[in-house]
Amino acid sequence: MVADDFAMIEVGLIAPMDSNPRKNFDENGLIELTESIKEHGVIQPLVVRATVHGFDLVAGERRWRSAQRAGLDMVPCVVRNLTDLEVAEIQLIENIDRHQLTPMEESAGVCHLVELGMDKHDLAGKLARSDEWVQLRLDLPSLPGPARAALECERFGLGAAEQLLRVSEGEREAATQVLLELGDQLTTAQVKEILRARYHEPRRRREAWNKLVPELERKFGERSAAVTDVEVSHDFVHAWGAGIGHWVSTDDEVGGMSRHPAESVITWGELADVHNVKTTIVCAGVQVCAEAAVEVVDKRIIVDAERALREQGKPYTLGPRKAAAVVAGEGEGDDAVSAAAETDDEFILRHVMSALELRADDEQLRELLMPVLELIAERK
């Protein structure tokens, strides 16, 4: 950059350049500078370059605007012979050094210099900034519009913007909306934790689950299919006491009201096998791993199948809880069919009476079971 002549140039012959990264000029600052120029004149010359129709304003737009307001006809200028790259470099360096640019204005200046062919590393050196500083400003335009606007008006800090850029591009708009709804006082650490919990951790879990799926489907067999999105596992698995709805782990036992050794015990998985019901593999743990994977089944399908068999007078499993014998073929002839045809009330009554006979002197047990007997009596 070679300095040419110093000259007094008419204000009207000078035109600001679109390449100037600074777009916003503080009104109060302009008023103060205008008053200063009225009293002392323009002390520091503007930097311009000659054009066919006049002069491009390279540096000093605030002084040029204030000089116009002060009514000056002529302003002092240094006329330089500059390329577009040199102009963009001067404009960015001058404004950054004076701390007058917003992050988005810095981003515009950095992007313009890179578009003109300047190497990112060389640019970092010229600006006395790190490579990471330059790269962040090159990435800011990829933020959604609301995020850029929030950054411009200082609702977001650069720390929050940097965290948003780590969210996948398809999720950034939703993530921006989440942060805007949470208010203006979020620290970078809070933003980082919010985005980690809502976006980074679920993404990590999905990636881990997708790697596990082939192994899980081999382990559980053809009857089972893994959920395509591990994050919907909570639709199937709930904390104890919260209720599990229609989805039940296939390992859960449904063997009747007692644990008496004589009573056959069958799991939902075995019932699913009996009725050829498809099961679903989900993650029941915080960590996504093979040990946390469980098989679940919609018990409505099995209950409906059991009811249909019972109505047809065929052996069924859920009502009398005699599936282990009947399904395995151990029960034969009329006895097996008779046991299978037992109603739920009859099954409950039989076991309640057996419990009372076995522990005839247990008043606490009798008091506990009497409401069951009364309920069955009312039904009849």
- Please give the positions annotated as active site: 61
* Cα separations in angstroms, 315 against 233, 252, 258, 268, 272: 34, 22, 21, 17, 16
Q: Hey, what are 129's tokens?
A: 């900034």
C-alpha 205: how far from its chain's center? 11
Report the residue count for the chain.
Answer: 380
Residue 301 makes CB contacts below 8 A (sequence gap 6+) with 275, 277
